[in-house]
Amino acid sequence: MSDVLDLPDVDDAWDWMAACEERGWGDGLPMVPPTEERVAAMLAGAPRVDLGPLPPRGVTPTLRSVAANAVMAGCRPADLPVLLAALAAVQDEAYNLHGTLATTHPCAPMVLVSGPVRDALGINAGGNCLGQGTRANAVIGRALSLVLLHVGGARPGVLDRSTQGSPAKYTYCCGESDDSPWPSLAVRRGFGADEGVVSVMAAEPPHNVNDHGSTTGAEILLTVAGTMAQPGSNNVYVRGPHLLLLGPEHAATLHRDGWTPETIRAHLWEHARIPVEHVSPGNRRQFVEWGVEPDGPPHDRAYTVSDDPANLHIAVAGGAGKHSAWIPSFGGTALVSRRVP
Amino acid sequence: MRIVDPTSGTAPEDTAAVTTAADAPAGTRRGDGSSAASRAVCGLSNSKPGAHDILDAIGRRLADDHGLGPNGLEAKPSAAVGADPELLDHLAAQYRLAVVAIGD
Amino acid sequence: MRSILVVTSSFLPLVQAQATARRAEPRLVVVDHPVGGLSPDELAGRTDTAYAGVVAELRSMGELS
């Protein structure tokens, strides 16, 4: 069956937006029409990647439909391999794509790009890397969301049941910085430093960790631990992965004081605790039903953030300034990494 | 203007239609209409608050009002993840009917 | 194994879309949304609705007379 649609010519950008809206396409922002010519250009030199069916619709995207969405999002042909890697990553069973799309939780597919491909595509890993202003960050994350919307069928209000959603559902992509005192997250996960790697996680938007006053790594971690100790995150009771995205200045201070990703993780496991009295009695009862109970001595019972220190992933990104970010997840998901083909 | 359909793909044609409630019952059903399953109704909760209570009440009232039983109640380990296929197989072997809670 | 789905009204579109994708025609009992965070009286109302719907479905299935 042909995948080509013959639409009335629309010379006006607003008419094209209206045509998309009528068909239930898009995220509400303007999109580039995926003409046959543009899709062909997007696919020139594209790698061959096997893709599986996308929930909730169960339709398996073709390279052409992925490319069409990439065009609509504003991608360049060079961005397509990163999009394909991200798409393959969210299809890993551990990512739990169906659950993350249909949930009432506001999670979005976060895409972290590591390795030389980051600079080759101009993916921002520096200042405002999770914000607006860089085409690659904007369009790669957006294209992934559009594929999940158009092919997967994750339409807000129908199959995407998010109570409030989040701005991250438009796009959620940044680079992992080389301005890090430690090997990158991708390298620590077993990839080569010369490989392009995409890591995805169904994540909440970043929770800021503002710490301008601390002068030691231990002090910074006290602030991080306090930020992580939130009774309202899924990581408290669903558990699962979460990400600490350290700003390079915080990372430098931690490194100066001898901290490593491993010791940071162990420290935060011990110190990011949610006191029992911060959790409502009703929630405590519910947590028990889900097998989650506080630990510690009777006078100091507290909940851990997730159920294993290894669930905390650590990376460096951002520019100048004394800010970091804690990124909780949907819980029932995983941080999945894939090589860029 | 000719565009590539952004919703296009390969439809799940190889996916067999799920046996519907109105269809003939699953394999545990015998030719005489009875079932090899020894228990009547299982509630399967999505682990959201309230779902367990509703399913529990339905099971008890079916037994009290209609003598339908014995009944059981199971739950997904978390609302965030799908039910374990092994749990579903176990329930299908043990029960004739399931009442599943979906919602929030 | 035959089944009945008790679904809150807000999740009905999700269930219907999923059923279409899987080519299934589930037996549905719809109750008002939500079922969580309710007072005991409110929850009892949801339970009554759900129970009545399940009994009706079981009758139509020939499980109850």
Verify whether the Cβ–Cβ distance C21 to A153 is below 8 Å.
yes
CA A192-A198-A203 angle, to 5 degrees, is: 135
Residues 98-127 of A with CB under 8 A from C: 102
pLDDT for the residue numbered B47: 86
Residues 2-41 of C with CB under 8 A from A: 10-11, 13-14, 17-18, 21-22
pLDDT for the residue numbered B13: 64
Q: How many structural domains compose chain C?
A: 1
C25 CA to chain A: closest CA distance, Å? Answer: 16
C16 CA to chain B: closest CA distance, Å? Answer: 12
Assess if residue B65 is contained within a domain: yes
| A63-73 and A135-150 helices, crossing angle to 10° | 130
Assess if residue C65 is contained within a domain: no
Is A331 within 8 Å of A100 (Cβ atoms)?
A: no
Distance CA(A129)–CA(A123), nearest Å, equals: 8
> Is A144 near chain B, with CB under 8 Å?
no
Assess if residue B59 is contained within a domain: yes
pLDDT for the residue numbered B35: 53
Query: Which residues of chain A does B9 touch, with a Cβ-Cβ cutoff of 8 Å?
Result: 54, 59-62, 65, 151
A232 CA to chain B: closest CA distance, Å? Answer: 15
Assess if residue B29 is contained within a domain: no
Collapsed DSSP state (helix, strand, coil) of residue B43: strand
Assess if residue B3 is contained within a domain: no
Share of chain B above pLDDT 90, in %: 49
Tell me the pLDDT band of B81, cut-offs 50, 70 and 90: confident
Q: How many structural domains compose chain B?
A: 1
| Containing structural domain, residue C31 | 4-60
C11 CA to chain A: closest CA distance, Å? Answer: 8
Tell me the pLDDT band of C14, cut-offs 50, 70 and 90: confident
> Is A283 near chain C, with CB under 8 Å?
no
Collapsed DSSP state (helix, strand, coil) of residue B64: helix
Three-state secondary structure along chain A? CCCEEECCCCCCHHHHHHHHHHCCCCCCCCCCCCEHHHHHHHHCCCCCCCCCCECCCCEEECHHHHHHHHHHHCCCHHHHHHHHHHHHHHCCHHHCHHHHHHCCCCCEEEEEEECHHHHHHCCCCCCCCCCCCCHHHHHHHHHHHHHHHHCCCCCECCCECCCCCCHHHCCCEEECCCCCCCCCHHHHCCCCCCCCEEEEEEECCCEEEECCCCCCHHHHHHHHHHHHCCCCCHHHHCCCCEEEEECHHHHHHHHHCCCCHHHHHHHHHHHCEEEHHHCCHHHHHHHHHCCCCCECCHHHCEEECCCCHHHEEEEECCCCCCEEEEEEECCCCCCEEEECC
Q: Which pLDDT tens digit goes with each residue over B31-64?
A: 444 455 778 999 999 888 889 899 999 999 999 9
Name which of A150, A158, A284, A311 to mutate to probe chain B: the one with the most chain B Cβ atoms within 10 A of its Cβ: A150
Terminal alpha carbon distance of chain B: 44
Tell me the pLDDT band of C21, cut-offs 50, 70 and 90: confident
Residues of chain A with pLDDT under 50: none
Beta strand pairing call for A108-114 and A173-175? parallel
Closest Cβ–Cβ partner in B12, B57, B104 for C34: B104
Q: Which pLDDT tens digit goes with each residue over C36-61?
A: 889 999 999 999 999 999 999 999 99
pLDDT for the residue numbered B20: 47
Say what the ipTM of the complex is.
0.94
B57 CA to chain C: closest CA distance, Å? Answer: 7
> Is A248 near chain B, with CB under 8 Å?
no
pLDDT for the residue numbered C23: 85
Would you mind telling me the total number of residues written for chain C in this entry? 65
pLDDT for the residue numbered B18: 52
Closest Cβ–Cβ partner in B1, B3, B9 for A60: B9
Assess if residue B44 is contained within a domain: yes
| pLDDT exceeds cutoff 80 at B16 | no
Tell me the pLDDT band of B82, cut-offs 50, 70 and 90: confident
Distance CA(A151)–CA(A27), nearest Å, equals: 14
pLDDT for the residue numbered B36: 58
Q: At residue B44, what are phi and psi to the nearest 5 degrees?
A: -125, 110
Q: Extract the tokens encoding A233.
A: 């995150």
Closest Cβ–Cβ partner in B2, B10, B81 for A36: B2
Subunits with at least 3 CB pairs below 8 A relative to chain B? A, C
pLDDT for the residue numbered C22: 83
Assess if residue B55 is contained within a domain: yes
- CA atoms lying within 13 Å on the CB side of residue A52: 12
Distance CA(A56)–CA(A153), nearest Å, equals: 6
Distance CA(A185)–CA(A179), nearest Å, equals: 12
Tell me the pLDDT band of B25, cut-offs 50, 70 and 90: very low
pLDDT for the residue numbered C25: 93
| Containing structural domain, residue B63 | 39-75+83-97
Assess if residue B4 is contained within a domain: no
Q: At residue A193, what are phi and psi to the nearest 5 degrees?
A: -65, -20
Subunits with at least 3 CB pairs below 8 A relative to chain C? A, B
